[in-house]
Structure 1
């Protein structure tokens, strides 16, 4: 009886497996076509991309070279500086500390930095949402005077805090690295740990993100991808102190670790569902205008499907991650030349996977 039943269902099993194989091959071909258009030359700096569905990788490939001087090919395990994708971790750390009762996002920053100009009118929420109006230090002409000099968080905050504000808190949305530097400093004040130690101990170690760390150009980093510029010819990336991007952009990671990060968010491993909703709220300005930014993530859409996104750019590197909560699709791409942005490719790949899943 069992044998007859198996004989009857076997054709259907084979058909389903064949369909799944065709689906996978079709997706791989389409994704390959997107990436080989951007990352064309095998002897140049390249990229690593990962695509996951329901928490499982369905595409994971490396392109180009991790080190063009030594002729070392890129591989999916390479470690990249992720630039402003760091802001996701900084925002999460703030919300974790709020859950511990050590701060409130509606607190004025003067509660923690008493001498901060106009600090009684600027809240942690303003910093998280880029609506504080404080001057973005990366746009200041004097930035190069400190770019290669190690700064303490206080020294870095002091560098820009007395600059004239761009607007009153809550009046506008203006992407702002200074705000996330201040958040990093507040994390240190509240937790009594360095920003590096707090992120390492409370996020990376907890989630098993063993290849993620605060960036360093001096320490040995296994599987490091080296960063490059291209202004007519490839050059090694400009050397700056990594105390400068700090909590706004100084972390390193791999695509595999970033999938662990996304899964931890999905399963509420770090914060509660209630707090997570706060992170992914479309916030508004004082006049009620929506800004499409939560805490550390842009809240957008691709083909009408809601997404959570953020990119990063730092000397020699660019990064981009897109999560589609309605379909549990995650796409992340890292490039080791700031001449090649993965942003469009990442969004194009997300579109391909979204539409493939909507058809099935």
Structure 2
């Protein structure tokens, strides 16, 4: 009997001890060069692999993430951390990686589920994929999913160009959208290349001459135009924008400088268009945007009070260029910037029907399959510039040589904005200023449809980098930074992500139950004069639902007394308002680009 008790106790210790140890030190599986491995993974797990590699190699590969976001860490045979990264936060994306082997032996690869982002589409029937500068509120999740990992290559090559190519190896495929990049040092291009395809349907490769839409990287050329006009005495940056655009109904004085610094308080044009029922793949012209902007009567905040990025600012800036010079922004920039610099394939695209040779088309792969991501913009100032990596490198060189412009213009162009209280902000005239690993840097990103772009210029190092892509999952910012690391030969010690994550997952909406009788009080027809649009609220399946003639029905989730959040993300915060008798007479909508725009309850629809 005593032996039986000991045996049972021993069995208990072995079983439960093994279970505890397996959690602390999960089993390690073998990886083989060129062989893809697929697995399911759950939150709280970490998967470990080992791969035998020689010393002095540049190893590269990728992880295909499906419903889960993973951090990858790589350790040398002696336990040295070689890599720990999570570049692609989206749970449906590919995570490319590369590392240098320091010795011969078994390298440990560890994968850990971490908080990732998913565009909240499950309940959103208006599935227009917006993100980046239009600030779609991603839902943060950490859930189970599947992945596949492949270490596809390990070469001896360690030249500068080979190290750069390793960064972009994932995009160097014949059937997949890609990337074009260029690096300039002093007055010359030291490396440039294209990877992947510009047009998936026809397998047209990306080259340094491929024309990309670069979204908000366009803003710096608009800012440069107004800095030049200021220097030439045609305007003053401290003039009120109303002097040049009297159609504006905003009474508060907004200076051109505040407009360019994003401290104007003007509502974001894309948020306004979306609330009015527009899709972002609609044809959207300059005049259509201006009509919407001119109809606004209120600001998000007092001019100069704070910084808030708004694309409206730069659409109006383009209009000021037109009013002052008699030329469109496209005409002025081509004459004063692009032609003098030999940027022959660069222009503001203001006609959506115009045919452009060697153009890259836009794609999105974040929903699990590759799809077209259509863009039909015909507006300029905030966006709309078409250029190539080769052309943009000439602009980066101009930051150093100043063949176009002069020191006074560039000083004005790169001077940070100041708020009313004296606080200096990071944004200048279409450019952000900061520091990267001890190096002063000027940069800007761009996001429209599936296009991604990022530029960096290091003034003290006279180094410039441009990365352009036509696939939505491409993290051009991180890629450009990794290029900078190679250029500066920076070897930063990676920080390994802890196994036990302390991150708090924020749900799309922390909803509350609400009585049907109360819901009835919100039903009816609502009209916004500033947007010239209407919504009809009704109850369907015991849920408050809004209908619009151009949109799919939107469900509203209760967050408290008279406060809701829509399943169409532009209705981020909706607060119904009541009169003295307690009757609902309207509601206000707020999101990151619009603050309290009002809809009034009406009799008709």
- Give TM-score, length-normalised by structure 2: 0.52
Q: Determine the structure 2 residue equivalent to 1:353.
A: 487
> Could you tell me how far apart the structure 2 residues matched to 1:207 and 1:143 are?
41
> What residue is the counterpart of 1:61 in the other structure?
193
How far did 1:61 drift? 1.5
Distance 1:163 1:316, change over 3 A: farther
Matches within 5 A, 1:281-320: 281-320=415-454
Pick aligned residue for 1:219 from 354, 379, 385: 354
Contact between 1:87 and 1:248, CA under 8 Å: does it hold in 2? yes
* CA displacement, residues 174-223 of structure 1 (integer Å, 9 cap, x when unaligned): 11100000101111100111222112222112221101122255322221
Kept in 2, the 8 Å contact 1:320–1:343? The answer is yes
Give the Cα separation in 2 of the matches to 1:193 and 1:49: 31
Q: Distance in 2 between matches of 1:251 and 1:199?
A: 10
SS at 1:57 equivalent: strand
Q: Secondary structure at the match of 1:249?
A: coil
Corresponding residue of 1:242: 378
SS at match of 2:433: strand
Q: Which moved more, 1:209-218 or 1:311-320?
A: 209-218
Instruction: Please list every run of 5 or more consecutive structure 2 residues that lacks an aligned counterpart in the other structure.
Output: 1-156, 491-605
Q: C-alpha displacement at 1:226, in angstroms?
A: 1.4
C-alpha deviations, 1:36-88, integer Å up to 9, x for none? 25x26442100011111112222211111111111122222111001101101
RMSD over aligned CA atoms reads: 2.1
How many residue pairs get matched?
A: 330
Q: How does 1:24-43 map to 2 (within 5 A)?
A: 26-37=159-170, 39=171, 41-43=173-175
Q: CA deviation at 1:113?
A: 1.3
C-alpha distance in structure 1 between counterparts of 2:161 and 2:401, whole Å: 28
1:270 aligns with 2:427: no
For residues 58 and 264 of structure 1, the distance between their equivalents in structure 2, rounded to whole angstroms, comes to: 15
SS of 1:126's equivalent? helix
Structure 1 position 333 matched with structure 2 position 432: no
Q: Using the alignment, how far apart are the partners of 1:307 and 1:168 within structure 2? A: 30
- The 5 A counterparts of 1:14-25 are none
Larger helix percent: 1
Q: Is the 1:82–1:319 contact (alpha carbons within 8 Å) kept by the matching residues of 2? A: yes
2: CA distance between counterparts of 1:99 and 1:337? 39
| Over 4 Å off, 4+ runs | none
Match among 66, 71, 75 for residue 207 of structure 2: 75
Going by fraction, where is strand more abundant, 1 or 2?
2
Tell me by how many angstroms 1:100 deviates: 2.1
- Check the 8 A contact 2:213/2:386 in 1, yes or no: yes
CA contact (8 A) 1:52 1:330 kept: yes
- Please tell me whether the aligned partners of residues 110 and 120 of structure 1 are also in contact (alpha carbons under 8 angstroms): no
* 3-state SS, counterpart of residue 156 of structure 1: helix
Greater length-normalized contact order (CA 8 Å, ≥ 6 residues apart): 1
Change (3 A) 1:158 1:302: same
8 Å contact kept, 2:362–2:471: yes
Gap change, CA 1:146 and 1:74, over 3 Å in 2: closer
| Distance change in 2, residues 1:352/1:340 (3 Å) | same
Larger Rg: 2
